[in-house]
């Protein structure tokens, strides 16, 4: 079975799907691996490192796709690249199929099979395949560093002969994987951290990291699935905004992490709330690519509005490309080895992981998230 790793073409993307150590492991299991020339350079991985472990470097991108039994990428390829795949070929990448129907249609037209790693069920036996968590973990860490760099003061309490410097106050909205890592990082740097999350079960995790939980009683409108919030009413979001406004007005940094799969990110910080923040304070909107949690954030820009610095970086894991690629490569190779051996895919279509992540099978859309084009 020929596995191919193309260069990622998405703007601001520095990751690569397989690292040399994982390539070596897959080759030892009988797979052939072909890598596009320069695919790992933005992750500080040289072509010579790939050839040293047995990979074949390919300069011609068209030939790479046409030879592939399996294409492994971080982001889904452009439809133009998908057209170059042979019928019956297999794609494994992030797809976010519900909002990427052009990619889904391209897979259907090409007669290929496509798995989306963001759709892998969040169950215990799939933890090593959980690319959403591995990448969010790094994003949560990097977010705090970006905020710290933009803030004109230090995080910890500092007592000196010249006077006492109060610790920075940080409000983190959302205690998922990214939020929890942001809490841990901010606490290590000495900040006072307050956390808001609409899922009451996160309170214990938040407090175990030394942060204060801003508690708002939930209601029946909150629906969760696989650890993520799937749906929440506008009335509840309004109540959350009212509660959080005071905390936000006193904060030096606000980090927002709230996403709803397949939908626009919920609005958590209105323009009025930003106006009430202190001059020189910082917002990092981790949901900016899906419309943003902050009304004033701008995609891939750092702007200052109402005296507040607002950071809207869309691809935070890509700012740590070596670690992000290392973790993703392990995620995707574990997933591949669950689905296949060197000779064939097992096609157990009722198995939970396979069924949950299979978007298109032999040119037919099969996943509920793309029901509108099935």
Q: Which residues are catalytic?
A: 122, 127, 130, 133, 228
Asked whether the beta carbons of 168 and 253 are under 8 A apart, the reply is yes
Distance (Å) of CA 287 to CA 99, 139, 178, 296, 314: 15, 11, 11, 12, 7
Strand 223-225 with 228-231, pairing: antiparallel
Count other C-beta atoms under 10 Å from residue 47's C-beta. Answer: 17
Rounded CA-CA distance 339/360 in Å is 15
First to last CA, the chain: 29
Residues pairing with 116 in the sheet: 93
Strand 212-214 with 192-196, pairing: parallel
Asked whether the beta carbons of 134 and 327 are under 8 A apart, the reply is yes
Q: Nearest CA to 281 among 313, 306, 244, 301?
A: 306
Rounded CA-CA distance 115/335 in Å is 10
Count other C-beta atoms under 10 Å from residue 52's C-beta. Answer: 12
Asked whether the beta carbons of 227 and 176 are under 8 A apart, the reply is yes
Count other C-beta atoms under 10 Å from residue 145's C-beta. Answer: 16
Rounded CA-CA distance 344/349 in Å is 14
Distance (Å) of CA 235 to CA 164, 200, 218, 229, 277: 42, 17, 11, 16, 23
Rounded CA-CA distance 69/4 in Å is 8
Distance (Å) of CA 24 to CA 4, 49, 202, 334: 14, 10, 39, 14
């Amino acid at each position: 079975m020929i596995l191919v790793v193309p260069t990622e073409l998405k703007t601001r993307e520095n990751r690569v799907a397989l690292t040399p150590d994982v390539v070596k492991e897959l080759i030892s299991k009988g797979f052939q691996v072909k890598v596009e020339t320069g695919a790992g350079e933005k992750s500080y991985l040289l072509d010579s490192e790939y050839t040293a472990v047995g990979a074949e470097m390919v300069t011609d991108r068209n030939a790479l796709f046409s030879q592939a039994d399996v294409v492994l990428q971080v982001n889904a390829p452009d439809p133009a690249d998908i057209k170059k795949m042979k019928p019956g070929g297999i794609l494994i990448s992030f797809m976010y199929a519900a909002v990427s129907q052009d990619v889904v249609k391209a897979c259907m037209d090409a007669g290929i099979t496509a798995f989306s790693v963001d759709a892998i069920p969040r169950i215990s036996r799939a933890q090593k395949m959980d690319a959403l968590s591995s990448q969010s973990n790094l994003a949560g860490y990097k977010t705090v560093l970006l905020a710290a760099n933009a803030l004109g003061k230090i995080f910890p309490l500092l007592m000196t002969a010249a006077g006492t410097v109060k610790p920075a106050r940080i409000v983190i909205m959302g205690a998922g994987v990214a939020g929890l890592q942001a809490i841990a990082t901010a606490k290590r740097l000495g900040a006072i951290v307050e956390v808001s999350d609409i899922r009451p079960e996160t309170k214990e995790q938040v407090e175990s990291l030394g942060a204060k939980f801003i508690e708002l009683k939930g209601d029946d409108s909150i629906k969760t699935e696989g650890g993520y919030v799937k749906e929440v009413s506008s009335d509840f979001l309004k109540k959350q905004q009212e509660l959080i406004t005071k905390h936000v007005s006193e904060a030096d940094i606000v980090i927002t992490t709230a996403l709803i799969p397949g939908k626009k990110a919920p609005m958590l910080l209105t323009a009025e709330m930003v106006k009430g923040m202190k001059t020189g304070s910082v917002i990092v909107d981790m949901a900016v690519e899906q419309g943003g949690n902050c009304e004033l954030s701008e995609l891939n820009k750092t702007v200052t509005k109402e005296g507040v610095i607002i950071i809207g970086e869309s691809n935070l894991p890509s700012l740590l490309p070596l670690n992000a690629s290392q973790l993703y490569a392990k995620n995707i190779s574990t997933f591949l080895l669950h689905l296949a051996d060197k000779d064939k895919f097992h096609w157990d279509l009722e198995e939970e992981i396979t069924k949950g992540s299979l978007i298109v099978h032999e040119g037919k859309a099969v996943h509920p998230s793309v029901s509108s084009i099935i």
